[in-house]
Structure formats: structure tokens, C-alpha cells
Structure 1
Amino acid sequence: MDKKIFQLHADVCKALGNPLRIEVINLLENKELCFTDLLEITGGLKSNLSQHLSVMTKKGILKVRREGQCNYYSLASLKVAQACRLMREVLIENLKNQKELLEKL
């Protein structure tokens, strides 16, 4: 396999390397939301959220469409949400295993 694909994969993973970005992906899993709705739900700063959305849009993770005064964001592919969900499942399994190990001690 061409090593370029691994670099592109790493770039997308870097774009997901922030809790707010993962929260946004979770929020957009089955719907699109206006920027102001995302801002209200996440409770972040306008400039900060805008920057995160811009990065994810440039990396092809999100799509954006303008309607009236609002930019509506949605996932470019539901597979992004599925990948995040799988990673959460791995995390939860690891936490359960650590808890069991601690209980045995």
C-alpha cells in the first residue's frame, strides 16, 4: 500500500484529536446543525468553535451549507461517527479491564 495513504490517515486522525471536535461529530451523527446551535450546545467560544469546524471541513470530515444567516454543518460521511463510536467502545473496554484489575489487587 502506498505510504501516502498512511500520511493522509494520520492527518485526519490529527483533525479528530480534540474533545470538542469529537463532541461535534457526536452531535452531528444523525442531523445537521446550525453554527449557533452547535455553539449553544457545546458552550464554547465562538472563535474557538469556528476554528475547529473550519479544520474539520478542510479535512473533509464535515460539510457546510449556508442558508440565510446560518452555516449548517453535517458529517461528510457517517463512517466518521462510526469510527469515533468504535474508538469509544475500545476505551470503555480498556477502562473496564483496568477496573477489574484494580479490584483484584
Structure 2
Amino acid sequence: MSAPPLYQLKADFFKTLGHPVRICVLELLSSRECAVAEILPEVGVEAAHLSQQLAILRRANLVATRREGSTVYYRLTTPEVADLLSAARSILSGVLAGQAELLADLQAPPAAALPPRPRPA
């Protein structure tokens, strides 16, 4: 049995990122390690749902944990995850800026775009 092709692994990786709660958690962890109790109010979901999303991120080796007493802390396993999120933010900013320009063009008065019609003689 051979290893899956690289493009399949990349697709699976991006599927792992394909949930708003997981992105929110990764964004929070991009700046520092956080306890679960710190993450929970930021993501605004039930504790059980957050636990499921954290488990997915752990299985994908995107986050790691450490325990201090009864508190569990999460951190990114590699700074490249934060770099990827930053690149996504930059790409989306460009896309949305382009859409804002298109919207402004659509909202401009249409007469300005057409030359005046010649009058019949």
C-alpha cells in the first residue's frame, strides 16, 4: 500500500482547517499558549463542542497540550500555522478590497460610462 499523494494530504490538511471554531482557536493560539478556560469564552460555543474541535486539532498535530494541575494549556505545534493564518488574512483582504472596488463601480451612476447619443438630423 503506497502513501497518499501529496495533494491528498494537503486537501485533508485544509479540511481540518475548514471549521470556524478551529480557525478561531488557532488564531488565539497564534499569539500565545492558552488554557481551555481562556479559549471557551472567545469561541462562544459549548464546552463539549470546543472539546471536539480541540481533539481534531490535536489529531492533526496542529496543537499540543500540557497540564498544570487541573488546567490544560494548548499551544501551536509550529509557528508556520500562525504564518498560514496570516497569509490567509492577507489574501482575503485583497479579495475583499477587490470586491469593494467592484461594488463601488456597480453603484456609480451609469450615465458617466456612456458617451452622449448623437441626435438625428
Same fold (TM over 0.5): yes
Match of 2:44 in 1: 43
Structure 1: gaps spanning 5 or more residues: none
Match of 2:54 in 1: 53
Structure 2: gaps spanning 5 or more residues: 107-121
Give the drift of 1:40: 2.2
1:1-105 to structure 2, matched below 5 A, reads 4-105=5-106
Provide the secondary structure at the position in 1 that maps to 2:67: strand
Give the drift of 1:27: 0.6
Largest Rg, 1 or 2: 2
Give the drift of 1:30: 2.2
Range with bigger deviation, 30-39 or 48-57? 30-39
Q: Structure 2 length normalisation: TM-score?
A: 0.80
Amino acid of the structure 2 residue aligned with 1:11: D
Percent of aligned pairs with the same amino acid: 36
Tell me: higher relative CO, structure 1 or 2? Use CA pairs within 8 A at least 6 residues apart: 1
Aligned length: 104
Give the drift of 1:84: 1.2
Q: Which runs of 4+ in 1 moved over 6 A?
A: none
Aligned-partner Cα distance in 1 for 2:25–2:81: 11
Alpha-carbon RMSD:
1.4
